[in-house]
Homo-oligomer: A and B are copies of this chain.
Amino acid sequence: MKNFISVKDVTDIEALLSKALHIKHNPLEYTHIGKNKTIGLLFMNPSLRTRMSTQRAAYNLGMNVMVINLNKDNWQLEFENGAVMNGTGSEHIKEAAGVISQYCDIVGLRSFPGLIDRNKDYNEDIFNSFLINLTIPLVSLESATLHPLQSFADIITIKENFNGNKTPKVVLSWAPHIKPLPQAVSNSFAEWALASEFDFVITHPEGYELNKKFTNGATITHNQEEALKDADFVYVKSWSSYSDYGTMPEVKTDWLLNKKKMSLSNNARIMHCLPVRRNVELTDELIDDPSCSLIMQQAGNRVVSAQTILTEILSSIQ
């Protein structure tokens, strides 16, 4: 594996899942493969969970870690070719990526969408600029449109918790929130769920349709209760509108997930990528019921997900 930007970088999901489960139970088996290697974690937006889990994964592989927080105050990048740099951008991506490529062996990058200019966000200009100019592998720590390390952790969690001999029914259920959120986690989960050939259903209010590029093949319904019927896993997530980009169209019905709604499911397990707004997105009774919630297990699998991907990449650059 050269880069890890989306599910398309994975050639065999089943094989990767097997590796992940092996690593989960033998976290310190590969402490030598990252020895004397350094990962640079580059944050254009804040991160705590992703930073900590990736850092821990790197330590478990014997790597060194450098955290680089970029923001407008300290290092604004110029992305345009041929720019006369007499403005706010103090360093061109060509130099930035070239330098980082010499100081690190792998780079992780986080860059959220602006949620204002849809074309710009969905073109993934920033990630693509880095990809063009880096000479070392790039791991997405969440881009404008995708969050593959999260999705892989999600799929690991489903794998660990499904014993049935049928295809699991997995529902992505939109949730209310106090502010407009990116579509990245939802887009990415859809991609991975479809690549995993789950019986995959997305339910959301009108106006919250995701980009079809990521959801093609999924069953989509505005009827939350219908979606929940016979579900094995319910992934709760809020996102803002893609069509009326970055807004929160008014929702007149109640989308808070609770125990009563979940009773329609097949004793489904609840999933959420965190942070979760309790009693806004879903109720305490669901989160705090260990026979229902997989949320902590998902969070724990973030280390497994990152460690598996780093192992794959390290193997390719030895």
Q: Which residues of A contact B (CB under 8 A)?
A: 28, 31, 36, 38, 40, 46, 48-49, 52-53, 55-56, 59-60, 64, 66, 68, 74-75, 78, 82-87, 90-92, 94-95, 98-100, 102-104, 178, 274-280, 284, 287-288, 295-296, 299-300, 303
Tell whether, in the assembled complex, residue B66 and residue A38 are in contact, meaning their CB atoms are under 8 Å apart: no
Given contacts A31-B36, A279-B82, contact A95 B59 (CB under 8 A): no
> What residue of chain B has the Cβ atom nearest to residue A90's Cβ?
B275
Q: Give the interface SS of chain A, mostly helix, strand, loop or mixed.
A: mixed
Tell whether, in the assembled complex, residue A59 and residue B64 are in contact, meaning their CB atoms are under 8 Å apart: yes
Given contacts A36-B31, A36-B60, contact A86 B274 (CB under 8 A): no
Complex partner residue of A103 from B53, B86, B95, B278, CB under 8 angstroms = B53
Q: How many copies of this chain?
A: 3
Tell whether, in the assembled complex, residue A95 and residue B36 are in contact, meaning their CB atoms are under 8 Å apart: no
Report B-chain residues with C-beta under 8 Å of the C-beta of A60. 36
A279 and B279 alpha carbons, distance in the complex (Å): 54
Tell whether, in the assembled complex, residue A278 and residue B64 are in contact, meaning their CB atoms are under 8 Å apart: no
Q: Which 6 A-B pairs have the closest CB atoms?
A: A91-B275, A102-B300, A85-B277, A84-B279, A59-B64, A52-B103
Which of A87, A100, A278, A279 has the most C-beta atoms of chain B within 10 angstroms of its own C-beta?
A278
Tell whether, in the assembled complex, residue A66 and residue B52 are in contact, meaning their CB atoms are under 8 Å apart: yes
Query: Can you report 13 residue pairs joining A to B where beta carbons are below 8 Å apart?
Result: A38-B56, A46-B74, A48-B74, A48-B75, A59-B64, A83-B278, A84-B279, A84-B280, A91-B274, A92-B278, A99-B296, A102-B299, A102-B300
Complex partner residue of A274 from B87, B95, B279, CB under 8 angstroms = B95
